Chain A
C-alpha cells in the first residue's frame, strides 16, 4: 500500500472541498447541468438508469483492509449495502444520492481514497497486473510506476478535457496480465541490456465499438523519460484527436488515421520539446515512492510444507480450489489466492458490505492487510503463507467465496448491463446467471478447462467481450434484447479479437449456444492441454458455427456433457 504524505492528503482534501462547493452550486441552480456534468464525472459520479452511480478509484487495484472496511461502511450508509467491482479495478456504488457524494468523498479521503477521474474525458485510473509485486515471472515491480503515474495523472491541468477517456495499463511481468495492448497506452516494463528499467510503449489499443490492438511505438523508453513521453502522447492527442464525433474520438482513431509510424514521428517531434525538461523523473522520487509502499516482511519459510502436501493428496475439494484459485508467489512458502466473486445468486463482481467486512478480517489475518482487485472482477489475497491455505480455504468456504473456478468458464466477466446501465442494449447479469446455472457441474467445468467468458451489455465493451475466448454482446434489434456471440478472442501479450459466429440469439437461447460451442470444442480438441481458444485457432470458427446453427449436431450437443458427468 502506498501511504499518502501530507501533501497527497491535502490535494485529495482540497478536491473534496472543491467538489462540495460545485455540488452546492449545482443544487442551488447556479451551476448548469452542462457545466456540472464533466465536473461530477471527473469526481466519479455518473448518472445511469436508476440512480447516480459513483465509481470509486482503487488505484491499480490495491486496497488495504481498513479501506475495504470504509467501503463497507459507505455501502451501508449511502447505498443498498453492496458494491460492484468493475473490470477496471474500481468499485461502483449503484444507488447513491447526488447530494451525498461530497460526504462520501470526504469519508473516502479519511482512508486515502478518492474518485478522481474515474469517469469523464480524462486520464482514468491506472490499471496493472493483479499479481504485481508478487508474481514469480516479474521483471519489474509495476506498483511504484503505477503510483508515479497516479500522481502525474491526478488533476493534471493540461489533460482534463481530452477528446475522450484515456486509459493506461502497466505490466511488469513476462506474461501480460494487464491487457496492455487493449489500452490507449500500454506500458510494458522491461529491462535494458544493462539491467536498467524501461518501458515498451504501445498506443491506440482499445475495445469499445471499434476494437483495436495497440501498436508498439517505442521498444525501450528509459524510465527517466516516462512522464515527458506520456506528456507528448497526451498533448498530440489533446490537440489533434477528433472532437466532432465521440465514436471516433479515442486515440486509436488518430493512430489509425495517421498510421502508427507517422503517429510515432509526431510524438517524437513533440517530445523533443519536453525531453529532459523538469518532468524528467529522478531516482530520488522513485525511491521515495518505493519507500512509502508498505510491503510485507516475508518470513523464511520452506518452499512447500509436508502438511500442505498431505492435505492436497487427501482432500479433493481443497485440492481443486488450490489448483484453480491459488497462484505461485515469488517468495518461497507464500501463495496468492483469488477470492472468486462469481458465485450462485450474485452478479459477477458484486460484494455485500458484510462480505467486505469479512474479507477485511481475512486480509488482516492471512495477507498483511491487503487485497487486490482484478480486472476479472475478483479479489486477491496476495501474500498468504502456504501453511495457512487450508485454514483460509475453510473460512472462504464458510463465506461462500471459495468457488474453484478461476480461469474457467464460470468465472464470467460481465458488465452491469441493462439492469443498471442506461447505455445498455441488453442485460448481462441474467445471462451470466443462466450460463452459470447451466454449467453448475464443477467436474464438467474443470473438464472443459481454461476458458474466459465475457459479457458486455453494449458496444462500449465494459465486459471486454472482444477478448473473451467466448464473448457475448448485447445488441438491440427492433427494441428487444439480443445477444451476439463471438469466439477466439484473447487477452495478454498476443491479444486477439473474437470473431462473431453469426446471427444473434434471444436471451433464453444463450446458455444453449454456449453449451453447443463447448460440445464442438470437446469433440475436436486435441488432448486435454488444448484450450478452447487454441482449438478455435486451430480449426477456425466454421465447425463451431455448424454446431450452433446446423441442425445436424443438435442431438449430439449434450452427449459430451453426460459423458463428463458420468
Chain B
C-alpha cells in the first residue's frame, strides 16, 4: 500500500487518482451521453478537466486535479480554488520541474488547498518538496513512513525565501525570528 503523508502525519487516502487512458470517459455512448464517472472523489488529469469541466463540476462534489511536471496550470487558473487537492506528478525524482511548478501554484496562483507530490517521490526529497509548498506526499510501498516523516525535519532553517518560509533568513535575522 502506498503511504499518504499529509501535514506531517500518515493519513488514510480517500482520493482516487484517475490515470492511464481516460479517453473512454470522453466518448459519448449511443444515447449521446458521456459515460458515468466513478462516484468517489477523483483526481483528474488536466486534459480531462479542460474537456469535461462543466460535466465534472456538476457530477463530482469533490474533484482534484493532477498535473504532469511539464504542464502549466494557467489554463485552469480560474478553477484552482475549486480543487480539493492538486497533485504534481514526478516522472522521476531527479526531474526538478515539479518544485518550480509547486511554487508557481502557491505563490503565483495563490492555491491554498492540499498540494500533493505523486509519482517517484522519496524521503530524501521531502524536505525540499515541503519547502516548495507540497504538504502531502504519496510514498511508494517500500519507503519507511517513519523515516519519511523524520526527513521533513532534516533542517531547522534555510537561507532562501520559500513557500514554507516566505521570509528569507536574511530578513528573519533582523527580526530575530530564526529557527
Contacts and interface: CB of A to CB of B under 8 A. Distances in A.
A354 interface: no
Given A239-B100, A279-B168, A155 B94 contact: no
* Chain B contact residues, majority secondary structure: loop
Contact of A161 (B94, B155, B158, B159): B94
B159 A157 contact: no
A284 interface: yes
Interface string A147-167: 000011011111111100000
A151 B159 contact: yes
Contacts of A11: 155, 157-159
B156 interface: yes
Nearest to B99: A158
A279 B161 contact: yes
Contacts of A156: 159-160
Contact of B168 (A15, A161, A278): A278
A386 interface: no
What is the interface residue range for chain B against chain A? 35 or more
B160 A35 contact: no
Contacts of A161: 93-96, 99
B132 interface: yes
Contact of B96 (A14, A17, A151, A162): A162
Contacts of B50: none
A285 B160 CA distance: 13
A112 to B, nearest CB: 15
A38 interface: yes
Given A10-B156, A155-B155, A160 B124 contact: no
Interface string B91-130: 0011111011101000110000000000000101001110
B100 A278 contact: no
A171 interface: no
B161 A157 contact: no
B178 interface: yes
Given A156-B160, A239-B101, A121 B128 contact: no
A243 interface: yes
Contacts of A160: 96, 99, 128
A238 B169 contact: no
Interface in A74-90: none
Nearest to B90: A161
A153 to B, nearest CB: 9
B157 A10 contact: yes
A277 interface: yes
A238 B97 contact: yes
B162 interface: yes
B7 interface: no
Interface string B62-79: 000000001000000000
B160 A39 contact: no
Nearest to A154: B159
B162 A158 contact: yes
A208 to B, nearest CB: 20
Contacts of B122: 35
B154 interface: yes
Given A157-B162, A239-B101, A273-B108, A284 B155 contact: no
A39 B157 contact: no
B94 A278 contact: no
A460 interface: no
Contacts of A159: 96, 99
A238 B93 contact: no
Contact of A235 (B100, B144, B173, B178): B100
A278 B163 CA distance: 11
B127 A284 contact: no
A279 B94 contact: no
Given A7-B178, A22-B124, A39-B124, A278 B99 contact: no
Interface of A: 7, 10-11, 14-15, 17-18, 22, 30-31, 35, 38-39, 121, 151-152, 154-162, 227, 235, 238-239, 243, 273, 277-279, 281-282, 284-285, 288
Q: Which 9 residue pairs are nearest across A and B when measured between Cβ atoms?
A: A161-B96, A157-B131, A157-B128, A285-B170, A279-B161, A151-B159, A278-B161, A158-B99, A18-B154
Given A152-B160, A157-B158, 11 more contacts: A7-B178, A10-B156, A15-B155, A151-B170, A158-B103, A161-B95, A238-B99, A278-B167, A278-B171, A282-B171, A288-B170
17 contacts: A39-B124, A121-B94, A151-B159, A151-B169, A154-B159, A155-B159, A157-B162, A158-B96, A158-B160, A159-B96, A160-B96, A160-B99, A161-B96, A239-B97, A278-B167, A285-B173, A285-B174
